[in-house]
Amino acid sequence: MDRPEVPLPQLHAFVVLAEELHFGRAATRLGIAQPPLSQQIRRLEDRVGHALFTRPPERITLTAAGRELLPAARRALTDVADGLAAARAAGSGHTGTLRIGFAASLALTVLPGLLRGFRTHYPEVRLDIREMTTAPQLTALRDRKIDVGLLREPPTGDPDLTFRTLLTEPFVAVLPSSHPLAPQRAIHLSDLANEPFVLLPRESGPTVHDRITEVCRAAGFTPRVTQHAVEWQTVCALVETGLGISLAPAAIRRLRLENVTFRPLTPPVPRTGVAAAWRASDTRNPLVTNLLTNLLPTVTRAG
């Protein structure tokens, strides 16, 4: 058997009258005249099938049916109010879950400050943070497994994704501390032409890999890659063992490895970009919009 739907104004009028037990005061509190209030109560009583209040000349009181209905009516009104508040919070991006992919090296640069700022402004939003290299981030964005990516060297010409550059930073040479070039204050890139390189595999970060290759070719050589590692931290660890040298973003200097030396390159110093990425179709996603308001609005040069 279908349950009759009760309009919220009738429940509201009933609860207010049950609290005031006076038609005049209840009508004033509701901002309506007494006749419309009486009509609302009559319609609700018709739905219930029983009187909810005793009527004058007796003092107005709740009947047995009214006393039974009152707690349920209050719960219904509270549930609706809570639901409206939750809907407003979700619609404004103050609640929900935001999934963010990030390249590991960005934990040394933009990520900590970005997350702190976002949590300060939106403490009720749950952040799902996932460490991923560039290529998996792009796939996860297209597959709707993350909402925002923080990555290096974003690709160009992708109609499905939007990118915003957050900062650029210089590349530095990564050398074993025992390397003959390690004592130098700065290194000419061409001096690395005959060195074995440890780099990220192209499938993990094709644009970063190609950027480093492009930088080396501009210096007159193609890097001879002898080892691969998926994360920059692992690249540096392999350099420490003497398996080769590398070029890495300057933020990597914050890693403390006893037998690794980081050296700046002589001008002109090649730089690498860090960007935020999100689906072009997510312009109305309030969680993404709120995150972007906490990102750097213009390109910032770091290092």
Measure the CA–CA gap between 284 and 280, rounded to whole angstroms.
10
pLDDT at residue 296, rounded to an integer? 46
pLDDT at 263: 96
HSE (side-chain half, CA atoms, 13 Å) at 282: 24
CATH number assigned to the domain with residue range 100-303, chosen from the 4 options 3.40.190.290, 3.20.20.70, 3.30.70.1560, 3.60.10.10? 3.40.190.290
Model pTM score: 0.69
Token pair belonging to 249: 């973003």
Select from 59, 4, 10, 7 the least CA-distant residue to 39. 10
Per-residue pLDDT at 297: 46
**For the chain, what percent of residues have pLDDT higher than 90?**
46
Q: What is the pLDDT of residue 31?
A: 92
How far apart CA 153 and CA 135 sit, in angstroms, is 11
**pLDDT-based confidence at 33, cuts 50/70/90?**
very high
Select the CATH number that applies to the domain covering 8-91 from these four: 3.30.465.10, 1.10.10.10, 3.40.50.2000, 2.80.10.50. Answer: 1.10.10.10
pLDDT(58) > 90: no
Query: Does residue 110 carry a pLDDT above 70?
Result: yes
73 or 283, which is more confident? Answer: 73
Q: Does 8-91 match 100-303 in CATH topology?
A: no
Q: Which two tokens stand for residue 201?
A: 């595999």
In terms of residues, how long is the chain?
303
- Please give the mean pLDDT across all residues of the chain: 87
What are the residue ranges spanned by the domains of the chain? Answer: 8-91, 100-303
Give the CA dihedral 150, 151, 152, 158, nearest 10 degrees: -110
pLDDT tens-digit profile of 155-194? 877 888 999 888 889 999 999 999 999 999 999 999 999 9
pLDDT band at residue 1 using 50, 70 and 90 as cut-offs: very low
> How high is the pLDDT of residue 266?
93
Q: 């549930």: which residue's tokens?
A: 79
pLDDT at 203: 86
**Which of the four pLDDT bands, split at 50, 70 and 90, describes residue 299?**
very low
- How confident is the model over 37-46, as pLDDT tens digits? 989 999 998 9
Share of the chain above pLDDT 70, in %: 92
Amino acid occupying residue 13: A
Distant-in-sequence, close-in-space partners of 171: CB < 8 Å, separation ≥ 6: 212, 215, 247, 248, 249, 250, 265, 269, 270, 271, 272
